[in-house]
A = this chain, B = another copy of it.
Amino acid sequence: MHFTINKSSLVYALSHVNKAVSSKNTIPILTGIKFEINESGLTLTGADSDISIQIKVPLQAEGKEIIKLFEVGAIVLPRYVFDIVRKLPADEIEFKKTEKLSIFIKSGLSEFRINGYDVDEYPEIQAVSDKKSFYVESSLLRTMLRQTTFAISNNESRPILTGVSWNLEDDILKFYATDSHRLAVKEAVIENAEEIKISGLVVPGKALKELAKILEDYDSRVKIVASSNQLYVEVDNIIFISRILDGTYPDIPRIIPKQIESEITLDRNQLIDSIERASLIARDSRNNIVKLVTLENNLVEISSSSQELGNVTELVEIHSIKGEDVKISFNAKYVLEALNAIENDEIVIEFTGALSPFMLKSVNQENLLHLILPIRTH
């Protein structure tokens, strides 16, 4: 194994695979990054028990030489090779395997010899069949993840709720995320996916957060292959693989109320600001309880009180109201997170009763829904 490589190309590639690697992994070789060089380029792989990220740096790109290859080979290097590469002084870095488990790195007047791991002991990435593959634009997938992932559970007592449920049927991709107190549903139309049906494939939230970070760097089409035990995502020269959570996801369509008692439309930012202020008093209580009451004159009152701190009353103008008067209490955190996930400036809240779930939606936009359970305060 012997090659030289352009520093910035290697830094960029390592910054991506590094996201999958934790120095705390109990399997020592997984605290490292796999380097594999051959005539098709340098392939870097990082993995933990949930995800693998693989990126390929070609020998040339856009007519410019990135890698000079002298001898093919492979080794697993400790994660801090990323720290070393970032700080090296010259634009070109030379890698040369001197012994089976040791590599020599040279750049300018700086020379490192670092110990690695046996590449034969690194887990193989499973091949995928292309049977269930479809394509999504990177920006759309990013939006879908941003609008749902925040609503998953952080509580390991029901592991299935720590992931986002992926569903695809009749060309419609649906994401569900819930922690049993609130639910986010996002759907989008996918082209040329008639043949594919995915039902309740639950991808760990932690993996999706890493995927979202990777997608930020790419504005291209993303290939997705779903199988029963893994989710495979390919964008540009990166492959991202996540394991799937075991278990059965709740039957979400059954949970969403069909009967609306009343609905109000109002300005999203005004509502966010009011609830944030009310939350300064409310956060003193265990559930961060804020109350919403419709008043005369097209106003809602947002309020909260605490015996220790004091109380707060906010008035917000309503754009329109239909149905009965509303009086409801909720956890401010859930409502704020849902409002922040909505992109439209005008939102509608649909109520189904003082102790029944209420829904937050964009006006004129049916593909995003946030459902929240109220809190009983008496």
Contacts and interface: CB of A to CB of B under 8 A. Distances in A.
Contacts of A281: 112, 114
B87 A310 contact: no
Contact of A113 (B102, B310, B315, B316): B310
A255 interface: no
B280 A89 contact: no
Given A87-B280, A280-B83, A78 B309 contact: yes
Contact of A309 (B110, B115, B280): B115
Interface stretch (A1-9, A185-193, A258-266, A271-279): A271-279
A80 B110 contact: no
A346 interface: no
Contact of A277 (B84, B273, B312): B84
A312 B102 contact: no
B309 A111 contact: no
- Pick the most buried of A109, A113, A273, A311: most chain B CB atoms within 10 A of its CB: A109
Interface in A241-292: 273-274, 276-277, 280-281
A276 B87 contact: yes
Interface in A40-80: 78, 80
Q: Is the interface on chain A under 10, 10 to 19, 20 to 34, or 35 or more residues? A: 20 to 34
A277 B309 contact: no
Contacts of A88: 277
Nearest to A310: B114
Contacts of A80: 280, 309
A62 B160 CA distance: 62
A310 B84 CA distance: 12
Contacts of A110: 274, 277, 312-315
B310 A273 contact: no
A308 interface: yes
A93 to B, nearest CB: 12
A84 B115 contact: no
Contact of A112 (B109, B115, B274, B311): B311
A26 to B, nearest CB: 17
Interface string A288-318: 0000000000000000000011111111100
Given A112-B310, A312-B110, A84 B273 contact: no
Top 8 nearest A-B pairs by Cβ distance? A114-B310, A109-B315, A113-B310, A112-B312, A111-B313, A115-B310, A87-B277, A110-B314
23 contacts: A78-B309, A80-B280, A80-B309, A83-B280, A84-B280, A87-B276, A87-B277, A88-B277, A89-B273, A102-B310, A110-B274, A110-B277, A110-B313, A110-B314, A110-B315, A111-B314, A112-B277, A112-B281, A112-B310, A112-B311, A114-B281, A114-B309, A115-B308
